[in-house]
Amino acid sequence: MKNHQVTIIDIARELGISKSTVSRALTNSTNILPETREAVLKKAKELDYQPNMLALGLIRNESRTLGVVIPDIQKPFFAAIVSGIQHTVSRIGYRIVIAQSDESPLEEKENIKALMLSRVDGFIVCHTRDTKDFEHIKLLHGKGYPLVSFARICPELPIPKVVEDDFNGLYTTTQHLIEQGKKRIALLAGPRQLLASKLRVNGYKVALQQHGIPFDKELVVHTKFLHDQVAAALERWLSLKHPPDGICTIYDAGAVKLIELLKRKGIKIPHEMAVAGFGDDPAASIIEPGLTSYAQRPYEIGVIAGKYMLDLLSKKYPVHHSDMTICKGALVVRGSSR
Amino acid sequence: MKNHQVTIIDIARELGISKSTVSRALTNSTNILPETREAVLKKAKELDYQPNMLALGLIRNESRTLGVVIPDIQKPFFAAIVSGIQHTVSRIGYRIVIAQSDESPLEEKENIKALMLSRVDGFIVCHTRDTKDFEHIKLLHGKGYPLVSFARICPELPIPKVVEDDFNGLYTTTQHLIEQGKKRIALLAGPRQLLASKLRVNGYKVALQQHGIPFDKELVVHTKFLHDQVAAALERWLSLKHPPDGICTIYDAGAVKLIELLKRKGIKIPHEMAVAGFGDDPAASIIEPGLTSYAQRPYEIGVIAGKYMLDLLSKKYPVHHSDMTICKGALVVRGSSR
DNA sequence: CGAAATTGTGGGAACGGTTGCGGGAATGTT
DNA sequence: AACATTCCCGCAACCGTTCCCACAATTTCG
């Protein structure tokens, strides 16, 4: 089976005309006798003709395929973004191929190389948490590939970017805890070099400052998003002379873990210790008490990234167009802080 | 930019040899003078030559791309499966393009048509909950496309399939509730025509029967997985003369919803009402009490589906090879039943 | 030493389409 | 009636690569 797919040559032969005429009938609307065109269309339908996109791609030097490189499709955040991208670009006839870096910078590089070989028309990328070297991306950009990055970006690269409102997210949550009467607020942060983490820490700092609360660096713990580090951070905080009465986190999974630990210790939430997260993961509304969390809209991030890409592809933007959308979120207040 | 990618002709011109020779140097190891080969390889690296897969695909009539059609990438179950597929096939140099049907049979059909146009080499499909007409799939199969389906399958189609252990899952959970001393066990099921739902209902029935508990069809409610229907079902059960003391569900989201409703009503879990789910969603371990649930291994389902596809592509299996893997799971017992 | 086998290379067809160019028939213009 | 114009259509080149075939040069063998 899978024998000889029908080609325009088959149609031409059956109709006793040349393949150019068939091609014109199927594409170009000019320079073709209406009756001929009808005949071709009819025959095409009859034989169930389907154009070979590979051949077309070879001519146009495009594949109408976009490479999407993400750390892990199993994270709800990325799944939602992928969904948004896919829905956006598929309406214009683009497909997306997914590659996962599994948070490995090497894998990220390999994936991009492989996608380049298969001649994708553009890249939508979210870097690994540990990606420090952006040479592979700069290379792509130098070659003129349409490029969009989101969430974890390389700020100096002149390409469209879509990010969450990192600063404002933690500014808002921190302020919320202060308004709830909390005086000493700890922060569970991410890796020091991660831009998104830095921005969120800044939001936290500025909120404290604006409310006249001194910044205490003992209250900030940097993690690599590991469960064990969350437990260790909590122990450290609780052993302080002046332990915190509220904890902000820059990611929900950490906040969820904290709530579990606090409950096990019999510490009352939110009265003895308030907790707030970032991301509004599905878990936030399931755990008890509900987790107050800054809700991002990852699906929208995907939609915007997809639109940026379409604009680049249609040359509406030049490839070095350096635009950035900061995707606003909103604080969802639940029992963990109220 | 993105000007004239380097081709073998460029290499040939620079070296003053023919493109056939260059091609041989880069692929075929025979019939080529070692020095010539070296020179070509060196020049290729120097010019940063990258083969054009489109051209290759045109010759081989393959794209080394697989179409993955799923209802919704945002569901953790599908995300995990996609991840498994991607990891499996990418090692052999295949890419996957994702299309979402959003549970719409029409969209499913359109997606498959579009993927066929772009000449994917095979399809890995999970049908919509409402897909009743499988003509589009049969058409694909008739054309000789490698085809693998998972989770929601069309049983009569002679293609490899990967499914969860639907029957055994509900058999095990039901039996577990019986062993916990429950005498009247209700079942929150899915749509009547959905095969997976039917199989799970059967598991429930057989477990009851083997333990001498009469089947009461008042205790079985068929839903379309809508939240409102869960609430309605619970109301109905509680208003019965002999209300149930345990509830099995065929999906975790329903069980989670039930737990929330029961807690709100002040009904003690598990003493007054035990609850069990299917799927071991992330939520199952977060909600309180923890939800007893039959854990599937969706990532493994993806891996197996990917392997089936690779076997089909390498002609190890004929396209009409009708094999089926039932992916065993295990009951995770938590507070909702213990 | 001449015929045959081997080896490295170039030419060109093929994959399935698009597209510029030119030719021939039909029509329009003087 | 002679010429210009239009309108369809076929020819052939092209996209980048593989691969079969032919051919020349070199080696092997009788």
Instruction: Give the DSSP H or E segment for B278.
Output: strand B274-278
What is the arithmetic mean of pLDDT over A293-305? 97
A128 contacts A101 by C-beta, under 8 angstroms? yes
Chain-chain contact of B283 with A286 (C-beta, under 8 angstroms): yes
Q: Of the candidates B148, B168, B166, B165, which has an alpha carbon nearest to the alpha carbon of residue B157? A: B148
| DSSP, residue by residue, A120-144 | -SEEEE---TT----HHHHHHHHTT
Interface test with A, best of B4, B7, B53 (most A CBs within 10 A): B53
In this prediction, residue A3 has a pLDDT band, given cuts at 50, 70 and 90, of low
Tell me the nearest-neighbour CA distance from B211 into chain A, angstroms: 34
Do you know the residue count of chain B?
338
pTM: 0.92
In this prediction, residue B2 has a pLDDT band, given cuts at 50, 70 and 90, of very low
Mean pLDDT of chain A: 94
pLDDT at A102: 97
In this prediction, residue B1 has a pLDDT band, given cuts at 50, 70 and 90, of very low
Instruction: Give the DSSP H or E segment for A189.
Output: strand A185-189
The tokens for A214 are: 């001194």
Q: Is the pLDDT of residue A2 over 60?
A: no
Instruction: Give the DSSP H or E segment for B43.
Output: helix B34-47
In this prediction, residue B266 has a pLDDT band, given cuts at 50, 70 and 90, of very high
For the CA of B57 and the C1' of C7, the distance in angstroms is 30
Mean pLDDT of chain B: 94
3-state secondary structure of B122: strand
Q: Is the CB of A55 under 7 A from strand C?
A: yes
Q: Is the CB of A31 under 7 A from strand D?
A: yes
**Cα dist from B227 to A218, B152, B191, B218, B231, whole Å:** 45, 21, 14, 20, 7
Report chain B residues whose CB lies below 8 A from the CB of A50: 116-117
Chain C footprint bases within 7 A of protein beta carbons: 7-12, 14-20
What is the arithmetic mean of pLDDT over A6-26? 94
Q: Is the pLDDT of residue A30 over 90?
A: no
How many Å apart are CA B162 and CA B147, to the nearest integer?
A: 12
- How are beta strands A330-332 and A292-295 bridged, if at all? antiparallel
Residue with CA nearest to D10's C1' atom: A18
pLDDT at A317: 82
Question: Which residues, numbered 112 to 151 in chain A, qualify as contacts with chain B under a Cβ-Cβ cut-off of 8 Å?
Answer: 114-119, 142-145
The position carrying tokens 């995907």 is: A302
For the CA of B230 and the C1' of C16, the distance in angstroms is 55
B83 touches chain A (CB under 8 A): yes
At residue A252, φ and ψ (nearest 5 deg) are -65, -40
What is the arithmetic mean of pLDDT over B202-221? 97
In this prediction, residue A320 has a pLDDT band, given cuts at 50, 70 and 90, of confident
Report chain A residues whose CB lies below 8 A from the CB of B97: 65, 95-98
How many Å apart are CA A63 and CA A43, to the nearest integer?
A: 27
What is the arithmetic mean of pLDDT over B226-242? 96
How many Å apart are CA A269 and CA A154, to the nearest integer?
A: 38
How many Å apart are CA A181 and CA A273, to the nearest integer?
A: 11
Chain-chain contact of B100 with A117 (C-beta, under 8 angstroms): no
A305 contacts A323 by C-beta, under 8 angstroms? no
Tell me the nearest-neighbour CA distance from B75 into chain A, angstroms: 8
What is the arithmetic mean of pLDDT over B3-25? 91
A181 contacts A195 by C-beta, under 8 angstroms? no
pLDDT at B118: 86
CB-nearest to B95 from A55, A72, A118 is A118
Q: Is the pLDDT of residue A246 over 80?
A: yes
How many Å apart are CA A200 and CA A327, to the nearest integer?
A: 14
What is the arithmetic mean of pLDDT over A89-93? 94
Which tops the pLDDT comparison, A207 or A119?
A207
pLDDT at A5: 85
Q: Is the pLDDT of residue B221 over 80?
A: yes
A249 contacts A260 by C-beta, under 8 angstroms? no
